[in-house]
Amino acid sequence: MIHLYNVTKIYPNGVKALSDVTLSIRKGEFVFLVGPSGAGKTTLVRLIFREELPTRGQVIFNGKNVGRMRMVEVPYLRRRIGMVFQDFRLLPQKTVFENVAFALEVAGSGRRDIRKRVPVILNMVGLAGKAGMYPAQLSGGEQQRVCVARAIVNNPVLIIADEPTGNLDPETSWELMKLLMDINRRGTTVIMATHAWDIVNAMKKRVLALTGGRLIRDEEQGAYCYEA
Amino acid sequence: MIHLYNVTKIYPNGVKALSDVTLSIRKGEFVFLVGPSGAGKTTLVRLIFREELPTRGQVIFNGKNVGRMRMVEVPYLRRRIGMVFQDFRLLPQKTVFENVAFALEVAGSGRRDIRKRVPVILNMVGLAGKAGMYPAQLSGGEQQRVCVARAIVNNPVLIIADEPTGNLDPETSWELMKLLMDINRRGTTVIMATHAWDIVNAMKKRVLALTGGRLIRDEEQGAYCYEA
Amino acid sequence: MKLNIVGYYFREAVQSIWRNSWLSMASIGVVAVSLFILGSSLLLVLNVNSMVGALESRVEINVFIKDKTTPAQIKEMEEGLRSMPDISEVRFISKTQALEEMKEKFGDKKEILSGLEEKNPLPDTFRIKTASIEMVQPLAQQIEGLPQVDQVRYGQNVVEKLVAFGRWVRLAGLVAMILFAIAAVFLIATTTRLSVYARRREIGIMKYLGATNWFVRGPFLLEGMLLGFLGSVLAVMVIYFGYFSLVGTIKVSLLFMLTVTDPGLILPVLEGLVALGLIIGAAGSTISMRKFLMV
Amino acid sequence: MKLNIVGYYFREAVQSIWRNSWLSMASIGVVAVSLFILGSSLLLVLNVNSMVGALESRVEINVFIKDKTTPAQIKEMEEGLRSMPDISEVRFISKTQALEEMKEKFGDKKEILSGLEEKNPLPDTFRIKTASIEMVQPLAQQIEGLPQVDQVRYGQNVVEKLVAFGRWVRLAGLVAMILFAIAAVFLIATTTRLSVYARRREIGIMKYLGATNWFVRGPFLLEGMLLGFLGSVLAVMVIYFGYFSLVGTIKVSLLFMLTVTDPGLILPVLEGLVALGLIIGAAGSTISMRKFLMV
Ligand SMILES: Nc1ncnc2c1ncn2[C@@H]1O[C@H](COP(=O)(O)OP(=O)(O)OP(=O)(O)O)[C@@H](O)[C@H]1O
Ligand SMILES: Nc1ncnc2c1ncn2[C@@H]1O[C@H](COP(=O)(O)OP(=O)(O)OP(=O)(O)O)[C@@H](O)[C@H]1O
Ligand SMILES: [Mg+2]
Ligand SMILES: [Mg+2]
């Protein structure tokens, strides 16, 4: 489903965030992306999401070269990916309900569909009571869960979660992980960048480890570790 | 140093974030603030920092009633508190160096002083090479460490860190904890809201546990737990 | 386009105006002020034009006719003059009438002219008005060439001044209007840019959620048009009531000035302003957004 | 205030202008356009005033003197008139001069008047100019009461029209200027508000870091003043060069219009605009910030 061939990303200011990364992720997999702060995890998922273009190498998503995609195709790529951003990116002028509904509106869903689906998803992430609030009125962890809700509401074929438990207590984190596993079990591919070593170790899923922009380990049923 | 007497905080939209909290923190203490997502941890530290006013009850900092303080006094209160915000709050138009330097400029430090002190602090948090970058060019964990650097650069009498390790890998987290412990040892009071149960358990410091706005546990050398 | 999406556009646009009420009011204000300036100067130009026209219509050419001309020749000549396209009015003043007029001018001292009746030295005269003031000079020269004409007089000095003044006023009015129009467009573009700039993060996020450019643009476009519409309506209302009350007070003190109150002339101006408001609003938000859609 | 802080203000202001180059240019543009409009209308009013003044100075009062007045009485009367404060010019026209003038007016047909030399029916006349056109009517009435005066003429109709026109132009100019001034202030306030609004988070963060209101305000204030200054300089330059080249072309075609080119009158206007730019910039950013400083 996702293939990276010799991907290097150098930011305009000269920082080499990824160097020569090659990897493949099959449909239906659950992959952890680990590595120290600044290793390039977010950069890697940004390339798949086409938030950034690779400096060298190719990123293939469902047989399409993401880097060479025309501008008009990009929205349709993004609609098939549910992204939990590390920096949340909630629309400040919209309520929780509207933020989640927006992902559906973008894809052209009808109002009835939206009014049925959004409350179900908000309930799943434990925010049933906060539907009418604005992002600024939420706690950090609540905002993070709105992002998760927004990412999964659209039934995407791929979910990318960039540190989705950074602001959550262990209990809520585990509930979230169960939710992601459920979705994964129903066939959705999941990529999760994380620092939660306890979760990674307990889940025994595939682990990709980055350090300084290099892919140094790729283990099925791996543990949290990013030493070579 | 800090006393809260029967503090209740109800936000304008009716959410009761804290109810009837009474506690005292002595000078030089190291206190963990734990609790599930949305328990009121951030609200509690906001009251001390006078970002919000208590609806009922009193917040006393160094003998002064924070809630009744005049507007002109507020800046001087804030300068004595080093705050690591959960949502970072970096100035997007300033480089890392300038962001950290700003806390010193606000307090009236000279340029020579600033040029000497900022690099030392950036080095402490492991960002020596990123001084010239803008926040948007940093990874999540790097941004978080800039916040920490900004909070400690001014030698405050109190450091409040709101989930300072949410975006950090375990190794970097522990380095940060050592830094905070060092500063604490030199007499600075530290309050840290966190979900990192492993850190809390390993440090054996005082733990305050909030659930649904109520203070339900207050243990010296406690462990991570917020069941009553 | 599906009805779904149109509904979405409207909901979003109205909501955004409502939630950013402060920003919206500022934008409406800018549109209103700009269009007010534009509209006022337009009306000013209209009025100056009508005033100049009124002054122009008072300039006459006096054609003095040779003494020995027969009434038949005069009749013929009058018809010839009337058939000229640039002439709007021809009036014949006989010698006798001319003397009467002169006596009237002398008023109390008209006894000076007594005794002239027998041997009236004044000539028969045609008084001619032209369609436009620019034609006075060439027409005068043309008429001077006719056989029965003794002399042509038209207050050369006054006409030249009036022609120059008329040109100047129109030029100045046109320059002012163009400047104001440019200023208005520039100001509104700036404001919409600022308001889009203030929401650049929002636009970026929408794009990251898979919104097409048109989906992002739609509500902003509609919002811009609504704001432009409201602003122009405000401007039009102020101009309308302000203008007619101003005209009312001026008329009393200044009867000789012909102010334009013909709705047939003023309504198109006001309608144009509203249309301009819509266009400006739409264009402003579209152009301003381009930069931020590139993500 | 410590030198430290002043230096900090300047560094921050310049840096912010530089880094928000886009926003800065927009603000400079708005200031420039607004002040350009204001300055242009100011110059227009100056010019109209001077034109109206020039026209006014041409209105004369004709005082006809009774036939039996002696030269000594006339002399005495002339001195009496000269001593009146509102009179700027007194010219004596004797009967003979008056007849000559009349002959000239009649031109070719002056033979009508031949034979009048022996028994000249025209009176001795004083031609009087007044200091201001408003004084024509009262003065005329006053003079009419003098014993030697037969009759007073001053083209009642023309004077009334001119007075009305002058008043109207001044009023309209004043109204237009006030409207433009209000519009300019409103526009600039809006722009600075928008630019502060676009940076509200930044202001909030500064306050959270323990900055006093003045510390936050300082750089914004300076930035506003710098932007206002640059905008006003731009406006002044455009007005200066535009005005003098316009005056140059008009003068050729329109000699009778007295355009104001006296630097002593124009420079204060331009200086005033620059000062206004500074004030507007400072005021705009101060007022706009108030709301966001309340954290
Ligand atoms: N927009 C950018 N411009 C320049 N450099 C950047 C940019 N974004 C990230 N970087 C740099 O690229 C490197 C990798 O960043 P990235 O965000 O991928 O790290 P990460 O693995 O997600 O770290 P974290 O766990 O802290 O979020 C970092 O050194 C960072 O400073
Ligand atoms: N500005 C606000 N307006 C209204 N409600 C708010 C506001 N800020 C927080 N709340 C509500 O108050 C409650 C406590 O929020 P708080 O941010 O203190 O939680 P927290 O303990 O910091 O949670 P987390 O661990 O997720 O950061 C939450 O239910 C939240 O929705
Ligand atoms: Mg990251
Ligand atoms: Mg919190």
The ligand 1 site (C-beta within 6 Å) comprises A 11, 13, 15, 17, 35, 37-43, 86; B 136-142, 167
The residue nearest atom 1 of ligand 1, judged by CA position, is B137
| Amino acid identity, position C221 | L
| Per-residue model confidence (pLDDT) at position C107 | 63
Task: Enumerate the residues of chain C whose CB falls inside 8 A of the CB of residue D254.
Answer: 164-165, 168
Q: How far is Cα of residue A77 from the mean position of the Cα atoms in its chain? A: 14
Q: Which residue has the higher pLDDT, B151 or D74?
A: B151
- CA proximity to C115, closest of D96, D122, D103, D115: D115
Please, are residues B123 and B97 in contact by the beta-carbon 8 Å criterion?
A: no
The residue nearest atom 2 of ligand 1, judged by CA position, is B137
| Per-residue model confidence (pLDDT) at position D126 | 85
Task: Enumerate the residues of chain A whose CB falls inside 8 A of the CB of residue C201.
Answer: 89
Q: Give mean pLDDT, residues C25-29.
A: 75
Is the pLDDT assigned to residue B76 strictly greater than 90? yes
Cα(A35)–Cα(C121) distance, rounded to whole angstroms?
A: 117
Tell me, yes or no, whether chains B and A touch by having 3 or more C-beta pairs under 8 A: yes
Cα(B200)–Cα(B190) distance, rounded to whole angstroms?
A: 13
Is the pLDDT assigned to residue C177 strictly greater than 70? no
Distance of residue A224 Cα from the nearest chain C Cα, in angstroms: 30
Q: Work out the pLDDT band at A182, boundaries 50, 70, 90.
A: very high
| Per-residue model confidence (pLDDT) at position D215 | 86
Residue from the list A89, A105, A108 with its beta carbon closest to the beta carbon of C208: A89
CA dihedral D244, D247, D252, D256 (to 10 degrees): -140
Decide: helix, strand or coil at residue D173.
helix
Substitution site in A19, A37, A42 for ligand 1 pocket (most atoms within 8 Å of beta carbon): A42
Beta bridge partners of D63: D126, D152
Q: Tens of pLDDT along B103-115? A: 998 888 888 999 9
Q: Which residues contact C30 (CB under 8 A, 6 or more apart)?
A: C187, C188, C191, C231, D187, D190
The Cα-based distances of C243 to A93, C31, D7, D284 in angstroms read 41, 19, 52, 31
Q: Tens of pLDDT along C242-277? A: 887 777 665 554 444 556 667 777 888 888 889 988
Distance of residue D199 Cα from the nearest chain B Cα, in angstroms: 10
| Amino acid identity, position B123 | N
Looking at all shown ligands, the one closest to residue A129's CA atom is 2
CA dihedral B122, B126, B130, B136 (to 10 degrees): -100
Using the beta-carbon criterion (under 8 Å), do C197 and D198 form an inter-chain contact? yes
Q: Give mean pLDDT, residues A15-27.
A: 95
Q: Give mean pLDDT, residues D29-54.
A: 74
Q: Give mean pLDDT, residues B220-226.
A: 88
Is the pLDDT assigned to residue D178 strictly greater than 80? no
Q: Work out the pLDDT band at C31, boundaries 50, 70, 90.
A: confident
CA of B165 to the centre of ligand 3 (A): 13
| Per-residue model confidence (pLDDT) at position C51 | 66
Is the pLDDT assigned to residue C18 strictly greater than 50? yes
| Per-residue model confidence (pLDDT) at position D44 | 73
Q: How far is Cα of residue C79 from the mean position of the Cα atoms in its chain? A: 35
Report the range out of A184-188, C33-37, D200-204 with the highest average pLDDT. Answer: A184-188
Task: Enumerate the residues of chain C whose CB falls inside 8 A of the CB of residue D116.
Answer: 112
| Per-residue model confidence (pLDDT) at position C261 | 66
| Per-residue model confidence (pLDDT) at position C256 | 43
Q: Give mean pLDDT, residues A176-192.
A: 95
Q: Tens of pLDDT along C130-139? A: 777 777 778 8
Cα(B118)–Cα(B45) distance, rounded to whole angstroms?
A: 26
Q: Work out the pLDDT band at C96, boundaries 50, 70, 90.
A: confident
Backbone angles phi, psi at A24, to 5 degrees: -135, 140
Q: HEC states along chain A?
A: CEEEEEEEEECCCCCEEEEEEEEEECCCCEEEEECCCCCCHHHHHHHHCCCCCCCEEEEEECCEEHHHCCHHHHHHHHHCEEEECCCCCCCCCCCHHHHHHHHHHHCCCCHHHHHHHHHHHHHHCCCHHHCCCCHHHCCHHHHHHHHHHHHHCCCCCEEEEECCCCCCCHHHHHHHHHHHHHHHHCCCEEEEECCCHHHHHHHCCEEEEEECCEEEEEECCCCCCCCC
- CA proximity to C232, closest of C280, C181, C178: C280
B214-219 and C87-93 as β-strands: parallel, antiparallel, unpaired?
unpaired
Q: Work out the pLDDT band at C233, boundaries 50, 70, 90.
A: very high
Please, are residues A78 and A50 in contact by the beta-carbon 8 Å criterion?
A: yes
Touching subunits for chain C (3+ Cβ pairs under 8 A): A, D
With CA atoms as reference, the chain B residue closest to A135 would be B87
- CA proximity to D203, closest of D176, D181, D223, D174: D223
The Cα-based distances of A27 to A186, A188, B44 in angstroms read 11, 7, 45
Task: Enumerate the residues of chain B whose CB falls inside 8 A of the CB of residue D8.
Answer: 105
CA of D293 to the centre of ligand 4 (A): 24
Please, are residues A36 and B171 in contact by the beta-carbon 8 Å criterion?
A: yes
Please state, rounded to an integer, the average pLDDT across all residues of chain D: 76
Residues in chain A, overall count = 228
Q: Give mean pLDDT, residues A27-55.
A: 95
Residues in chain B, overall count = 228
Residue indicated by tokens 């999406």? C5
Per DSSP, the residues of D175-233 read HHHHHHHHHHHHHHHHHHHHHHHHTHHHHHHHHHTT--HHHHHHHHHHHHHHHHHHHHH
- CA A141 to ligand 2: nearest atom: 26
Q: Which residues contact D294 (CB under 8 A, 6 or more apart)?
A: none
Looking at all shown ligands, the one closest to residue A9's CA atom is 1
User: Is C292 at the interface with chain D, CB within 8 A?
Assistant: no
Which range among A108-117, C120-129, C199-208 shows the weakest confidence by mean pLDDT? C120-129
| Per-residue model confidence (pLDDT) at position C269 | 85
What is the maximum span of chain D, computed from C-alpha positions, in angstroms? Answer: 104
Using the beta-carbon criterion (under 8 Å), do A51 and C211 form an inter-chain contact? no
Decide: helix, strand or coil at residue D125.
strand
B56-61 and B64-65 as β-strands: parallel, antiparallel, unpaired?
antiparallel
D 90-149: CB under 8 A from B: none
Task: Enumerate the residues of chain B whose CB falls inside 8 A of the CB of residue A166.
Answer: 140, 163, 166-167
Cα(A89)–Cα(A86) distance, rounded to whole angstroms?
A: 8
Task: Enumerate the residues of chain B whose CB falls inside 8 A of the CB of residue A224.
Answer: 170
The tokens for C199 are 């929401």
Please state, rounded to an integer, the average pLDDT across all residues of chain A: 94
Cα(C10)–Cα(B227) distance, rounded to whole angstroms?
A: 48
CA of B42 to the centre of ligand 4 (A): 4
Which range among D37-41, D92-96, D219-223 shows the weakest confidence by mean pLDDT? D37-41
- CA proximity to A39, closest of A223, A228, A209, A227: A209
Cα(D262)–Cα(D266) distance, rounded to whole angstroms?
A: 6
Beta bridge partners of A58: A5
CA of D207 to the centre of ligand 2 (A): 21
Please, are residues D26 and C194 in contact by the beta-carbon 8 Å criterion?
A: yes
Q: Give mean pLDDT, residues B117-134.
A: 94
- Which residues of A make CB contacts under 8 Å with C? 49, 51, 72, 75-79, 83, 85, 89-93, 102-103, 105-108, 110-111, 150
Residue indicated by tokens 């006296």? D262
Q: What percent of chain D is modeled with pLDDT above 70?
A: 71
Mutate one of A46, A176, A195, A211 to test the B interface: name it (highest B CB count within 10 A).
Answer: A195
B 121-180: CB under 8 A from A: 133, 137-142, 145, 162-163, 166-173
CA angle centred on B113, ends B112 and B119, rounded to 5°: 100
Is the pLDDT assigned to residue B18 strictly greater than 70? yes
Q: Tens of pLDDT along B60-69? A: 999 999 989 9
Q: Give mean pLDDT, residues D21-38.
A: 75
- ipTM for the assembly: 0.78
| Per-residue model confidence (pLDDT) at position C44 | 73
Using the beta-carbon criterion (under 8 Å), do C36 and D183 form an inter-chain contact? yes
Q: What percent of chain A is modeled with pLDDT above 90?
A: 90
- CA proximity to D154, closest of D139, D166, D169: D139
What's the N-to-C CA distance of chain B in angstroms? 26
User: Is D88 at the interface with chain C, CB within 8 A?
Assistant: no
Please state, rounded to an integer, the average pLDDT across all residues of chain B: 94
- Where b means 16+ CB within 10 Å and e means fewer, D111-140 reads ebbeeeeeebbbbbbbebbbeebebbbebb
Distance of residue C231 Cα from the nearest chain A Cα, in angstroms: 23
Cα(D123)–Cα(D116) distance, rounded to whole angstroms?
A: 13
Touching subunits for chain A (3+ Cβ pairs under 8 A): B, C
| Per-residue model confidence (pLDDT) at position D228 | 87
Q: Give mean pLDDT, residues D25-46.
A: 76
Please, are residues C56 and C132 in contact by the beta-carbon 8 Å criterion?
A: yes
Q: Give mean pLDDT, residues A176-200.
A: 95
Decide: helix, strand or coil at residue C210.
coil
| Per-residue model confidence (pLDDT) at position C255 | 41
Q: What percent of chain B is modeled with pLDDT above 70?
A: 100
Residue from the list D33, D193, D250 with its beta carbon closest to the beta carbon of C168: D250
The tokens for D148 are 């030697």
Please, are residues A188 and A156 in contact by the beta-carbon 8 Å criterion?
A: yes
CA dihedral A178, A181, A182, A183 (to 10 degrees): 130
Is the pLDDT assigned to residue A123 strictly greater than 60? yes
Which range among A19-33, A80-94, A95-109, C2-16 shows the weakest confidence by mean pLDDT? C2-16
Using the beta-carbon criterion (under 8 Å), do D197 and C23 form an inter-chain contact? yes
Q: Give mean pLDDT, residues B189-215.
A: 95
Q: Give mean pLDDT, residues C3-22.
A: 78
CA of B7 to the centre of ligand 3 (A): 37
